[in-house]
Structure 1
Amino acid sequence: MRWLSFGGARNAKGRAGRGRQNTGRGKKTRRTATRRRLPTWSAMVQAMRLTAGLLVLLAVTGAGVWVWQSGVVGRQIDVAGAALERVAVRGGLVVRSVTVEGRIRTEPARLLGALGTARGEPILSFDPHAARARVEALPWVAQARVERRLPDTIHVVLTERNPLALWQRSSEGDYALIDSTGTWLEVDTRPFADLPLIVGEDAPRVAPSLMDLLATEPRLAQRVRAATWVDRRRWTVRLDGIESGIDVRLPETNPGAAWRRLAALDRDTNLLARDIDRVDLRLPDRLVVRPRSPGRVGGDGETAPGAPANAPRVLVSTSGQET
């Protein structure tokens, strides 16, 4: 028990001594930390400078926003632009000529109106990009390039549309012109009366592919006067005349092969010189030919008053022999 008591006392003294030593160090550490947390005069000056700079930035930004919203900047820009235009006019930077390449059917007056400029206007105020958009909105213009060539010239390069066919939009005789891309144009169709006539809903979309197909047999294609897009799936082509020509019914599948077969048969047997009003190519191994009857107007099954409704038919094989 003494050993325990002695040891406990000694340990207690040791702990007490260490405690006093630790207490002394703690006080010294707190005093040091207190001294370190005190701001210096330079740090205070720097903080005041940062605060002042932030306030100035906010003031300048707010003033700039107010100036912009009030329209002062916009008015000053307009004034500067007007002054620049006056200087440019005095220096001879005005529109004196408009040169055009590729114009065939576009009317000069409409083209100049779309450009939106005139002789003597400041050339620096001319916007080529906006002018190009207006020019490309003209019916005959497919693409356009508009350039401002200093000191005094506007240069325009046009790519015009190629007329392909006339599209009958209604039975009342409302027509539109179709170009080589299938786009229909609101132009005067009277100068193009010799073009093939296209009939049928959605016909302009597929007309270019039909014309490419017909062109594979040029001699036969020259005789095409009209074409009807039947049920949005196949063509019936009219040869030689609108009113009393020969109808050629092309198949829905592989019409190009049938067209070439008809051309070969006509070269061999002179089939299309006969008095017929219909050739049906929808059968893959033969043609169905219908002779013309008295009183028949022609067309796809239409007959004149008094004409027989069931005219005789002649089957012609691909070898040219009648059956």
Structure 2
Amino acid sequence: MRRLISKPGVLPTDKTKRSSLRRETPARKTSLPRLKTLFLGFVGLTLAATATLGYMDRERLIDEMLMATGKAGLNLQFIQVRGRAHTPTDILVAATDLRLGDPILGINIDEVHKRISAIGWVEDVIVERRMPSTVRISIRERLPMGLLQTADGHQLIDAHGVIIKGAKASDFTHLPVVAGDGSAKHAEKILSVLKTEPELFAEVWAISYQSGRRWDVHLRNGIEIRLPEVEPRQAWSRLAVMERRKQIINRDLAVIDLRIPEQLIVEPNIPVRGKGKST
């Protein structure tokens, strides 16, 4: 039986090929990571350059985009204002800093809200962008309550006792004068009591806070009404009933003292001689 044997020179040739294959394989493994690193480095540099260019040209790009939206019809054509009664128009217009024809998407609503909120008459405001061409401004103004007596003269205050900056006190002389330390923040409560008797309240000229506890009411004819610290509403109602029956505030009186429950003490409007004392 014949044996198959390799031809002379075949085996050494195969060994040479296997040896060469083993030498080539490590070379390929070394080159791939190197190419990958170079590629990633190139991509990173490209992205960094693009980001830097975008940052430098950001403002220009935004302006161009806003101009494009304006040309497409998204520009300011109408400004709607609701709730304005006392806020001067010129001050409101200056605060908005809005110009018709500007791209509506370029309006900074938060900045407009901030500037309008700084106006003295404005207690609250809502600024809305209504596409495609309207900005709506809804204002809630402060409600004038009285004229606070200060070292700098009378200052208009709202229901919370806040001074309304920019308001002219001379335009609100029909409101009662509020006097006394700490009177501003407590005035709304006593005024709501006095308004329960409209006819009597119509004669009120001023109110003064006494020792941080109670109020004196000054009528237009010069009479001073001293209210009690406790239950001032009942005392005021009792005076209103007496006024309807006997017309007491039309008499020549200086003081009507209601501080003692169920009693009414009056002082006539006559000169008092000698040294007296305050109560």
TM-score normalised per structure 1:
0.68
1:205 counterpart residue number: 185
Deviation at 1:230, TM superposition (A): 1.2
User: For 1:63-212, what aligned pairs fall within 5 Å after superposition?
Assistant: 72-170=53-151, 174-186=153-165, 187-212=167-192
Deviation at 1:198, TM superposition (A): 0.6
* Stretch of structure 1 that moved more, 159-168 or 84-93: 84-93
1:308 counterpart residue number: 273
1:277 and 1:290 in contact (8 A); partners too: yes
User: For 1:173-322, what aligned pairs fall within 5 Å after superposition?
Assistant: 174-186=153-165, 187-241=167-221, 245-294=222-271, 308=273
What letter corresponds to residue 204 of structure 2 in structure 1?
V
1:166 and 1:197 in contact (8 A); partners too: yes
Deviation at 1:72, TM superposition (A): 4.2
Q: Which runs of 4+ in 1 moved over 3 A?
A: none
Deviation at 1:265, TM superposition (A): 2.1
**CA shift in 2, pair 1:196/1:309, >3 Å:** farther
Q: Which has the higher contact order (CA 8 A, sep 6+)?
A: 2
Deviation at 1:67, TM superposition (A): 7.8
Identity percentage over the alignment?
A: 29
TM-score normalised per structure 2:
0.78
Deviation at 1:185, TM superposition (A): 1.0
Please give the alpha-carbon distance, in whole angstroms, between the structure 2 residues aligned to 1:60 and 1:257: 83
Deviation at 1:276, TM superposition (A): 0.5
What letter corresponds to residue 125 of structure 2 in structure 1?
A
Q: Structure 2 unaligned runs (5+)?
A: 1-24
Alpha-carbon displacement from aligned partner over 1:183-223 (angstroms, at most 9, x marks no partner): 11122111111211011122110111111111111111111
Alpha-carbon displacement from aligned partner over 1:231-261 (angstroms, at most 9, x marks no partner): 11111110124xxx11011111221121112
Please give the alpha-carbon distance, in whole angstroms, between the structure 2 residues aligned to 1:67 and 1:237: 75
1:235 and 1:250 in contact (8 A); partners too: yes
Higher Rg of the two aligned structures: 1
Deviation at 1:309, TM superposition (A): 5.0
What letter corresponds to residue 233 of structure 1 in structure 2?
R
What letter corresponds to residue 273 of structure 2 in structure 1?
P
Alpha-carbon displacement from aligned partner over 1:24-72 (angstroms, at most 9, x marks no partner): xxxxxxxxxxxxxxxxx9xxx7xx97xx78x959x949x75x987xx64
1:30 counterpart residue number: none
Deviation at 1:118, TM superposition (A): 1.2
Counterpart secondary structure, 2:237: helix
Q: Structure 1 unaligned runs (5+)?
A: 1-40, 295-306, 312-323
Query: Aligned-pair RMSD on alpha carbons?
Result: 3.2
Counterpart secondary structure, 1:190: helix
Please give the alpha-carbon distance, in whole angstroms, between the structure 2 residues aligned to 1:260 and 1:231: 23
Please give the alpha-carbon distance, in whole angstroms, between the structure 2 residues aligned to 1:310 and 1:256: 34
1:169 and 1:200 in contact (8 A); partners too: no
Please give the alpha-carbon distance, in whole angstroms, between the structure 1 residues aligned to 2:274 and 2:234: 31
What letter corresponds to residue 158 of structure 2 in structure 1?
D
Deviation at 1:97, TM superposition (A): 2.3
Deviation at 1:129, TM superposition (A): 2.2
